[in-house]
Amino acid sequence: MTLKQFYNCRILRNHEIIDDHLWVRGGKIIDPEGVFFDEKVPADIRIDCHGLIIAPGFIDLQINGGYGVDFSYDIDNIENAVGIVAKKLIENGVTSFCPTVVTSPIPVYHSILPKIKRTAGGLHGATVLGVHVEGPFINLEKKGAHPPHCIREFSKGFQHVELAYGSLDNIRIVTLAPELINSAEIITELVKRNIIVSLGHSTANLIEGEEGCNHGATMITHLFNAMLGFHHRDPGLIGLLTSEKIAQPIYYGLISDGIHTHPSAVRMAYKANPDGVVLVTDAISALGLADGRYHLGQLDIEVKDNKAKIAGTDTLCGSADNLNRCVQKFQKFTKCSKVFALEAASYHPAKVLGIEKTKGTLDFGADADFIMLNDDLHVQSTWIAGEKVYPNFG
């Protein structure tokens, strides 16, 4: 197998940026000590990185589509639709993602979910880690851009979940409202099936949110959006960031596009619970395209001045920003370190999924999915399994 040595670079490893070389073989990051002392062989290929930062590839846990594609609308050719987005995302440094399906009619779930399979990344595009289904088990009062006639309840317990989705095999994350009747039972069963539960589109108070977490929920979907606003006597789901009554740390998706979340709110969340920050785009089909009219599932969307709204309303409905820009804005808003901003879009989402040993890290033995960036955190090149897939550098 070809041995590659990346030199003249700064590497994000062990939560700091260090001057070092990166060694890759067989699609993995390797410890060069064995090469030096046991094999005693030089690198087959040496790559001068010209002083750039090497960081783990970005992981987007919530993305509805992009580049003219909507994962909840393009039913007839969904495999090709996912492939189009996977290919384009690498330009923004995304090496893995969870295609997100919003609240939809049951036939849409039954048609789409079996076809969005987990696939390894490569020259064809970013890795598909599994589907994020956002709904339909959400609160009608906080529907946001979800069609009200498709919203459902758990009246039949877990059987209702199986009836709605048809197959859970490709699902990795479910967003639901914890205040719904039977939600505790549903959360417990989903977690048993190794599915991440995220709380969102909800009117839950803090106690209901804590109960959801103590039954296994570990994330909040797009913090501040589609939930009760913070109140000092009952902070709702936002209060989970500092709750002392939940069994495990809480992660929270944050859309740091400057539109969905005010910079002051971004700073507030970051300072309250920095370890839980997970940068997401919540991008829609308009990502990478000009202003105009698009789809988000069953709804018509209008994008103007980079703001996406349900056509004819003032309701926000996803972002048109990419994850690289969100990382840059997050650092600008919070004044955090470059390391933290980069890890909020790589290491933290990997921890949500429990894959932080192989993705979101540059530790020895991890997948060689990484990006090269300049000091302004602009992605210059993207690499998957040690192969350059986005050639804007070199």
Tokens of 23: 């060694």
Residue 77 in marked binding region: no
Residue 233 in marked binding region: yes
Residue 21 in marked binding region: no
From the number of C-beta atoms within 10 Å of its C-beta (0-12, 13-18, 19+), residue 294 rates as buried
Residue 222 in marked binding region: yes
Query: What kind and span of H or E run contains 328?
Result: helix 323-334
Identify the residue whose tokens are 């897939």: 389
Strand order of the sheet with strand 307-310? Answer: 292-296, 299-304, 307-310, 316-319
DSSP assigned state of 81: H
Q: CA 117, CA 248: separation in Å to the nearest integer?
A: 29
Annotation says 282 is catalytic: yes
Q: CA 130, CA 227: separation in Å to the nearest integer?
A: 25
Q: CA 153, CA 160: separation in Å to the nearest integer?
A: 8
Count CB-CB contacts under 10 A for residue 83: 16
Q: CA 360, CA 90: separation in Å to the nearest integer?
A: 15
Tokens of 167: 């197959």
CA quadruple 33, 39, 42, 45: dihedral sign: negative
Q: CA 132, CA 391: separation in Å to the nearest integer?
A: 29
Catalytic residue among 60, 70, 257, 282: 282
Q: Which residues contact 105 (CB under 8 A, 6 or more apart)?
A: 150, 298
Tokens of 339: 């390391």
Q: CA 188, CA 350: separation in Å to the nearest integer?
A: 21
Q: CA 367, CA 386: separation in Å to the nearest integer?
A: 8
Beta strands in 224-321 (DSSP E): 251-254, 277-279, 292-296, 299-304, 307-310, 316-319
Q: Which amino acid is at 185?
A: E
Residue 317 in marked binding region: yes
Residue 324 in marked binding region: no
Residue 201 in marked binding region: yes
Specify binding-site residues for Zn(2+): 134, 201, 222
Specify binding-site residues for substrate: 145, 225-226, 233, 260, 316-318
Specify binding-site residues: 134, 145, 201, 222, 225-226, 233, 260, 316-318
Looking at the annotation, which residues are catalytic? 282
